[in-house]
Structure 1
Amino acid sequence: MKPCAIVILNYNGEEMLKTFLPSVCMHSSVDTWVVDNASTDGSIEYLEKNYPQIQQIRLSGNFGYAGGYNEGLAKLEGHYEYYILLNSDVEVTAGWDSNLIAWMNSHPEYAALQPKLLSWKERDTFDYAGAGGGFLDGYGYPYCRGRIWDSVEKDRGVYNDSIEVDWASGACMVVKASVFHQLSGFDPGFFAHMEEIDLCWRMRRSGWKIGYTGLVEVYHLGGATLDRSSPRKMYLNIRNSLSMVYKNESAWRFYWIFLVKSLLEHLAAWSFVLRGEKEFSKAIVGAYKDFGKNKRALARFQPELNGRQQVERQGKVHLIFWNWKILGRKSYDQL
């Protein structure tokens, strides 16, 4: 069995590959694979012509982030100890992969790890998706060291440590291959957004820890799939957040969280109507409607403990929205 494979998911990302693959090839020391979600642009032709050393897995359709990785990694099962899941819009740095693998080897109780994620456009600023380590508040809302809601911090070297977190960002994360497959991978019903948070939550429920290390830095463009302010992304985030909480919390905790989230998010829907932004209001209502339709299908991805003790959540904030919106706490050190 080989130690690790870098696996990049691609869908019509020819321009991303042109921009970011050079750094991957320059700074990586392990096998690199591209899993293609049936692209219709020139991605495959570009890879064949310019990067024949990169191995390809071509899928029959666009299965999204979750399903695409599940389909692709199923073909690699049993061949690698670790997978590094890397977005196609990430620039890596010297020694990044070997340092991540070494960290995982020296911390066998961890199932996943992310590096420090910085913005590709503003290189002294944290990236929205993961930043300096991801956490969940008491209601399942994600936040990061370096990013609270939409407030993103500059990198001042504060998060150069290595710590235990609640979730690792799918923009760049190392996972134990065996654990990924034991837990049936990502929930393909998510399609995209928050599937890595759900997977990490299931890993912790199964007795594994999740890590962050600031000893490795990568630069993420972000927004290559969906803009953060799009109605489609709002729909996916709300629907998938409800699904994630439903699978991983007890029944009574879920219904309390559902009550609070429903109140906040339907108030937000009304505010969008009043501002004339009905597409966002429809996205929120549609997310709740579709969650209700699909609840039964979520049982397949509820983790089995198999005798291992659940690893408790690391986040300490009761409601991140209250701290950010009402109390004005815009940075992690203010929480």
Structure 2
Amino acid sequence: MAEERARSTIVVVTWRGAEHVEACLDALARQRAHRLLVVDNASDDGTDELLARHPSAPEVLRLPRNLGYAGGLASAFPRVRTRYFGWLNDDTRPGPEWLATLEDALDRAPGAGAAACRMWSREGPVSHGVRLTGTGHGADTLAEGEVFGFCGGAALLRTSALSAIGGVPAEYFCYYEDTDTSWRLRLAGYDIVPTTASCAHSHGASSEPGSKPFHRWNERNRLLTLLRCAPPEIALREVSRFGAITLALPWRRLLRRKVPRAANFRVALRLRVLGELAARLVPTLRQRRRITRGRAVNRRRVWRGWAGN
């Protein structure tokens, strides 16, 4: 049986993915032997029927409500018993050697917690991994060589390493679960290795980049990640900067100063982010202490080594 030889469990998280998840499953059918688990985030567009009749006969975990990408991965993680844990968006199409390349990379690097792959779209290359900016943003990079982290749309993680650092941040819903996990892996002393594994991605098929929810999750989760992982002065600086900009925006409009039109410069959205940050502050600081207890590398060392590079 293929699953008996499997060293990886590939988890595909889908939500209303009837138009694209089949192409993802078809591409996975051409990979090295693996266990396939699809998390269905309470889709209501016929995705469940499509999964039931697909030739690959995937194991399906159907959730009672939409928990997002991060929540879906976190729900699946307790079911992962293989050495490696694959994260995969439902709108991706891995290349034929995708899994083999990622597994081989982790086999060669026992100190690595994750392997990143190369993402591309119809317009060309999108990401070779994630870099860390000087403001604590996780951003896609096309640089060759070392990367700070992996792009969560398609990656392979060492299951034991992810377990050691506390798993997937389910409360993020979506966005920044990859940057946060990469950061925690580095604090725990693990590497993230770049690879030549290739994966096509129809970016934004399950969400709308530039929308209000997109900006809300990005802004909130960046600040939560900083509070969990960054040196204290960096976390305080960026949270204070976000609050100061929020307070300044009404005055800038009153004085008819130029204000960006993007949704993340709307005061109501920013106040909601600050409210959610305040509501999560106590549990986030508890998480920070747990991360500190399991830390093998100083926070400032990680920051100096990667931020802005």
Q: Given the two structures, how large is their TM-score scaled by the length of structure 1? A: 0.79
Distance 1:75 1:11 in 2: 20
Distance 1:20 1:306 in 2: 36
Is the partner of 2:96 in helix, strand or coil? coil
Change (3 A) 1:226 1:101: same
Segments of 5+ residues of structure 2 without an aligned counterpart are none
Segments of 5+ residues of structure 1 without an aligned counterpart are 147-158, 318-334
Change (3 A) 1:49 1:295: same
Residue 126 of structure 1 is matched in structure 2 by: 125
Distance 1:177 1:297 in 2: 24
Alignment RMSD (CA, Å): 2.6
| Stretch of structure 1 that moved more, 294-303 or 203-212 | 294-303
User: Residues 116 and 216 of structure 1 are in contact (CA less than 8 Å); yes or no, is this contact kept in structure 2?
Assistant: yes
2:245 equivalent to 1:257: no
Choose from 161, 183, 205 the match for 1:201.
183
2:168 equivalent to 1:186: yes
Change (3 A) 1:5 1:251: same
Number of equivalenced pairs: 295
Output one character per residue of 1:12-53: Cα deviation in whole Å (capped at 9) or x when no partner.
Answer: 211111333222212343222111222222112111112353
User: Residues 116 and 156 of structure 2 are in contact (CA less than 8 Å); yes or no, is this contact kept in structure 1?
Assistant: yes
Q: How does 1:102-141 map to 2 (within 5 A)?
A: 102-119=104-121, 121-122=122-123, 125-127=124-126, 131-141=127-137
Residue 198 of structure 2 is matched in structure 1 by: 217
Residue 150 of structure 1 is matched in structure 2 by: none
User: Residues 184 and 301 of structure 1 are in contact (CA less than 8 Å); yes or no, is this contact kept in structure 2?
Assistant: no
Choose from 12, 19, 43 the match for 2:23.
19
2:306 equivalent to 1:315: yes
Residue 224 of structure 2 is matched in structure 1 by: 243
Q: Which residue identity does 2:206 align to in structure 1?
A: T
Question: Post-superposition shift, 1:271?
Answer: 7.1
Residue 81 of structure 1 is matched in structure 2 by: 83
Distance 1:293 1:32 in 2: 36
Residue 269 of structure 2 is matched in structure 1 by: 283
Is the partner of 1:8 in helix, strand or coil? strand
User: Residues 133 and 144 of structure 1 are in contact (CA less than 8 Å); yes or no, is this contact kept in structure 2?
Assistant: yes
2:39 equivalent to 1:41: no
Choose from 181, 198, 209 the match for 1:228.
209
User: Residues 227 and 285 of structure 2 are in contact (CA less than 8 Å); yes or no, is this contact kept in structure 1?
Assistant: no
Q: Which residue identity does 1:57 align to in structure 2?
A: L
Is the partner of 1:45 in helix, strand or coil? helix
Q: Given the two structures, how large is their TM-score scaled by the length of structure 2? A: 0.86
Q: Which residue identity does 2:168 align to in structure 1?
A: F
Output one character per residue of 1:37-80: Cα deviation in whole Å (capped at 9) or x when no partner.
Answer: 2222211211111235322222232211112111112122xx20
Question: Post-superposition shift, 1:110?
Answer: 0.9
Distance 1:105 1:305 in 2: 28
Distance 1:193 1:143 in 2: 11
Question: Post-superposition shift, 1:204?
Answer: 1.1
Residue 139 of structure 2 is matched in structure 1 by: 143
Question: Post-superposition shift, 1:242?
Answer: 0.8
Is the partner of 2:222 in helix, strand or coil? helix
Distance 1:276 1:36 in 2: 36
2:168 equivalent to 1:164: no
Residue 94 of structure 1 is matched in structure 2 by: 96
Q: Which residue identity does 2:185 align to in structure 1?
A: M
User: Residues 5 and 33 of structure 1 are in contact (CA less than 8 Å); yes or no, is this contact kept in structure 2?
Assistant: yes
Output one character per residue of 1:122-154: Cα deviation in whole Å (capped at 9) or x when no partner.
Answer: 2xx222xxx1221112320222323xxxxxxxx
Choose from 7, 11, 19 the match for 1:3.
7
